[in-house]
Amino acid sequence: MAIVIRLDRVLADRKMQLGELANEVGVTNVNLSNLKTGKVRAIRFSTLESICKVLKCQPGDILEYIED
């Protein structure tokens, strides 16, 4: 089972830079970069909620399940 982060795709669709999203969400650019590259093992629902609010998307637009 693999959960793939598609934050880069959503950011590109919205024509938004990672730093701009970090400022609006209130997290560091490094934390969002780690999330975008899949280097994190967990994400807080409050952070995911803030990301979805700013990007006007659903969690399923950012997170994708890929069966092994």
* Domain coverage including residue 20: 2-66
Q: Please give the pLDDT value at position 38.
A: 87
Q: Please give the pLDDT value at position 1.
A: 57
Q: Please give the pLDDT value at position 44.
A: 95
Q: Note the pTM of the prediction, 2 decimals.
A: 0.90
* pLDDT block averages, 10 residues each, the chain of length 68: 90 96 96 92 95 97 92
Q: What is the spatial distance between Cα 22 and Cα 8, in angstroms, rounded to a whole number?
A: 13
Number of structural domains (the chain) is 1
Q: What is the helix, strand, coil percentage profile of the chain, to 5?
A: 55, 10, 30
Q: What is the spatial distance between Cα 51 and Cα 23, in angstroms, rounded to a whole number?
A: 11
Q: Residue 51: helix, strand or coil by DSSP?
A: helix
pLDDT in tens, 5-20: 999 999 999 999 999 9
Q: Please give the pLDDT value at position 48.
A: 96
CATH code where residue 13 lies: 1.10.260.40
